[in-house]
Chains A and B, each alone.
Chain A
Amino acid sequence: MTEKIYTKEEWIKALSGLKSFYNIFVPVRDGDFHTFKALDEKKIPDFNFQNTRLSPKSLVYPQSERIFAYTLDEDTPDANIIKESEKDYSPKAVVGIRPCDAHAFQIVRPNFDNPEYQDPWWIQRYESTTLVGLGCNAPGSTCFCTSVGGGPFSEKGLDALLYDLGDTFLIKALTEKGEAFLENAQGGKEADDAALKAGEDLAAKAANKIEQKISIDKLKDKVQTELFDAPFWDDVAFACINCGTCTYLCPTCWCFDIQDEVLEKQGDRIRNWDSCMFPLFTLHGSGHNPRAKKVQRVRQRFMHKLKYYVDKYNNGVQCSGCGRCVRNCPANIDIREVCELMNRL
């Protein structure tokens, strides 16, 4: 696999050149935060960030998307017939995605792509996307990727990985997609042994900087109903205000709603992100609601991530350790503490 080294100026230039092959998304400074935006003349990519406020989840799985369209005009022969909408699956590259957020796509995949059913939109968008990661030289205080099967330079789910060596970027292709990306990238030179060694050292040092260690080893062997009936859920949920921030920021949360929207005679069927934190999520037409209480919804979120997913897919926990929910929870609920409680029970 190709390994190249670019000066930072060269790299920005290479990205501009790549625009003729890909729709390129890069981290851009946006107020106090960083966010992924499509690269154009007006945007300056900024690779100097801890992590973007939101993961680039929405580039594969938009927060809101039209899935079908129809006409209600009875004068047309296809009135009320629901039809597929045109979709854009042209190649896309996300450059600068953190390894935890790339790992998250891998975690989410079996939900949308399994032997029984395949979600055409998620899969085609995922397959047309090249993920070029940026290793984390200085992981943050809420990062715990190393506890959940990832790492600051983990290659999981990535097509290529960038190492920030100061004045230069070392980039390694990891898959065929990553190889194709580098083939199309102008400039740079083949990485020498010194650069590769510098990259390795950087990765080793970064992993040691993550102080937060949580244990997930016993989750698999727990009995689902025992964890469900554990005594700590009331305490865990006490402070929660059901705002749903955790689910919207989470790169591995995938729940959605489907709604119909009509303007005059034209209608769309739309898929929107949804959240298990909201009581309407599970409200039956009859008025019955299996998760009517806050504690039931909070329990669902943690049980889903740390037990149901583990049991269902044998693919680790449904968490990539990005720490966004920990940083942004207005009530300071910390998944790391909940995970410890569950693992210890």
Chain B
Amino acid sequence: MENPYLPYPVRIDKIITETEDRNLKTFRFVFLNPKDEEKFSYTPGQFAELSIAGKGESPIGIASSPTEKGHITFTVNKVGLVTTHLHNMKEGDVMGIRGPLGNWYPWEEMEGKNVVIIGGGFAFTTLRSSIIYMLHPENRSRFKDISVVYGARNPGMLLYKDELAEWEQRDDIHMHITVDGTDDPDWKYNVGFVPTITEQKITSADDAIAIVCGPPIMIKFTQPVLEKVGFSPERIILSLEMRMKCGIGMCGRCNIGDKFVCKDGPVFSLAQLKNMPQEY
């Protein structure tokens, strides 16, 4: 019998400190058994449990794209027991990964449509996965315009800075990078909260689906902006966070009504959420 609780052993291949406060690091993992990489077949929007012997597990969104072969990456905020321990680990260390878990962004529905991606802070991880996935030569033609609004508190708190700069140069993706504030006189991009920049830059909901990931306050104020432009709740897609243990809908703690964020989510449309108890 397959054991859904048993993590695949992995080695930390590379660690990148992402933000100036050093609280966010990206971990690139390689599977110890190459066959496990095939079994770990995922779709952007899914997450996995990072599993550390002696510490426990933490559910984290997958930041790499399935089009990137040979490794998987996660960007991890230092918060609790497991993530703090992970931040102190080094390249070459062995740990576990369990997954992929949960559902994913509605790629079939998004096919042939304009895609609007709105992210805030460190919730940009599965959005990075999605952008890399869509920009891959095999996939790019499956989507129309891709627009991205991504904001952080200040320039030093943005994730994936090199990739953001590279995407800025491309003409097949419209980037709108913003910071809440900055004293950097050379800052080239926007200044303003994500909802404000969204209001300025996203002016059409025609044939479009929006994916929104960020802190609750950002989601709260972005939602009316999108609805005003004409996004119906069915076309606003959100990814939720919740305390989890099993990740497979059994341990009972991550439910919202009769839905489990780990198994039925983490991706829900606003239309779905409007019909669920407000308990998240």
CA distance A281 to B255 in the complex (A): 12
Q: Does A195 contact B (CB under 8 A)?
A: no
CA distance A259 to B254 in the complex (A): 17
Q: Which residues of B contact A286 (CB under 8 A)?
A: 79
> In the complex, are the beta carbons of A120 and B279 less than 8 A apart?
no
Q: Which residue of B lies closest to A265 (CB)?
A: B54
> In the complex, are the beta carbons of B277 and A255 less than 8 A apart?
no
Which of A29-37, A74-82, A130-138, A162-170 contacts the other chain? Answer: A74-82
> In the complex, are the beta carbons of B279 and A118 less than 8 A apart?
no
Q: Which residues of B contact A224 (CB under 8 A)?
A: 257-258, 275-277
CA distance A225 to B48 in the complex (A): 30
Q: Does A308 contact B (CB under 8 A)?
A: yes
Which of B90-98, B149-157, B223-231 contacts the other chain? Answer: B90-98
Q: Does B241 contact A (CB under 8 A)?
A: yes
> In the complex, are the beta carbons of A84 and B251 less than 8 A apart?
no
Instruction: List A residues 266-286 near B (Cβ within 8 Å).
Output: 267, 269, 274, 276, 281-286
> In the complex, are the beta carbons of A276 and B252 less than 8 A apart?
yes
> In the complex, are the beta carbons of B250 and A259 less than 8 A apart?
no
Q: Does B253 contact A (CB under 8 A)?
A: yes
Q: Does B221 contact A (CB under 8 A)?
A: no
> In the complex, are the beta carbons of B96 and A81 less than 8 A apart?
yes
Q: Which residue of A lies closest to B51 (CB)?
A: A82
Which of A109-117, A180-188, A202-210, A337-345 contacts the other chain? Answer: A109-117
Q: Does A256 contact B (CB under 8 A)?
A: yes
Q: Does B243 contact A (CB under 8 A)?
A: yes
Which of A80, A228, A274, A285 contacts B253 (CB under 8 A)?
A274
Q: Mark B68-83, 1 if CB is under 8 A from A, else 0.
A: 0000000000011001
CA distance A283 to B95 in the complex (A): 25
Q: Mark A302-343, 1 if CB is under 8 A from B, else 0.
A: 011001110110000000000000000000000000000000
CA distance A120 to B279 in the complex (A): 31
Which of B54, B249, B277, B280 contacts A117 (CB under 8 A)?
B249
Q: Does B112 contact A (CB under 8 A)?
A: no
Q: Does B212 contact A (CB under 8 A)?
A: no
Q: Mark B184-222, 1 if CB is under 8 A from A, else 0.
A: 000000000000000000000000000000000000000
> In the complex, are the beta carbons of A283 and B251 less than 8 A apart?
no
Which of B3-11, B129-137, B161-169 contacts the other chain? Answer: B3-11
> In the complex, are the beta carbons of A284 and B94 less than 8 A apart?
no
B residues contacting the other copy or chain, number (CB 8 A): 46
Q: Given A68-B6, A224-B277, decide whether A81 and B53 contact each other with a Cβ distance below 8 A.
A: yes
Q: Given A82-B96, A116-B249, decide whether A308 and B279 contact each other with a Cβ distance below 8 A.
A: no
Which of B4, B255, B263, B276 contacts A304 (CB under 8 A)?
B255
> In the complex, are the beta carbons of B3 and A274 less than 8 A apart?
no
Q: Does B116 contact A (CB under 8 A)?
A: no
Q: Given A79-B94, A84-B6, decide whether A255 and B280 contact each other with a Cβ distance below 8 A.
A: no
CA distance A118 to B249 in the complex (A): 10
Q: Does A123 contact B (CB under 8 A)?
A: yes
Min C-beta distance of B61 to chain A, whole Å: 14
Q: Does A67 contact B (CB under 8 A)?
A: yes
> In the complex, are the beta carbons of B258 and A82 less than 8 A apart?
no
Q: Given A284-B241, A312-B258, decide whether A117 and B252 contact each other with a Cβ distance below 8 A.
A: no
> In the complex, are the beta carbons of A290 and B258 less than 8 A apart?
no
> In the complex, are the beta carbons of A81 and B9 less than 8 A apart?
yes
> In the complex, are the beta carbons of B243 and A72 less than 8 A apart?
no
Q: Which residues of A contact B5 (CB under 8 A)?
A: 67-68, 258
> In the complex, are the beta carbons of B7 and A290 less than 8 A apart?
no
> In the complex, are the beta carbons of B54 and A260 less than 8 A apart?
yes
Instruction: List A residues 235-259 near B (Cβ within 8 Å).
Output: 254-259
CA distance A274 to B275 in the complex (A): 28
> In the complex, are the beta carbons of A290 and B280 less than 8 A apart?
yes
> In the complex, are the beta carbons of B6 and A82 less than 8 A apart?
yes
Q: Does A70 contact B (CB under 8 A)?
A: yes
Which of A72, A82, A255, A284 contacts B251 (CB under 8 A)?
A255
Q: Does B18 contact A (CB under 8 A)?
A: no
Q: Mark B238-280, 1 if CB is under 8 A from A, else 0.
A: 0001110110111111111110000100000000000111011
Min C-beta distance of A121 to chain B, whole Å: 9
Q: Which residue of A lies closest to B55 (CB)?
A: A260
CA distance A255 to B243 in the complex (A): 13
Q: Does A190 contact B (CB under 8 A)?
A: no
In the complex, besides A82-B7, A255-B251, A284-B243, 19 extra interface pairs with C-beta distance below 8 angstroms are A67-B5, A70-B53, A72-B53, A80-B52, A82-B9, A82-B53, A112-B250, A224-B276, A225-B257, A228-B277, A228-B279, A255-B253, A256-B250, A267-B54, A274-B252, A285-B243, A290-B256, A291-B279, A304-B255
Q: Which residues of B contact A (CB under 8 A)?
A: 1-7, 9, 32, 51-58, 79-80, 83, 93-96, 241-243, 245-246, 248-258, 263, 275-277, 279-280
Q: Which residues of A contact B (CB under 8 A)?
A: 67-68, 70, 72, 79-82, 84, 111-112, 114, 116-120, 123-124, 224-225, 228-229, 254-260, 262, 267, 269, 274, 276, 281-286, 290-291, 296, 300, 303-304, 307-309, 311-312
Question: Can you list 22 A-B pairs, Cβ within 8 angstroms, ordered by A?
Answer: A72-B53, A80-B54, A80-B93, A81-B9, A81-B96, A118-B1, A224-B277, A228-B257, A228-B277, A254-B250, A256-B245, A258-B56, A258-B246, A258-B251, A267-B53, A274-B253, A282-B243, A283-B243, A285-B243, A290-B256, A290-B279, A300-B279
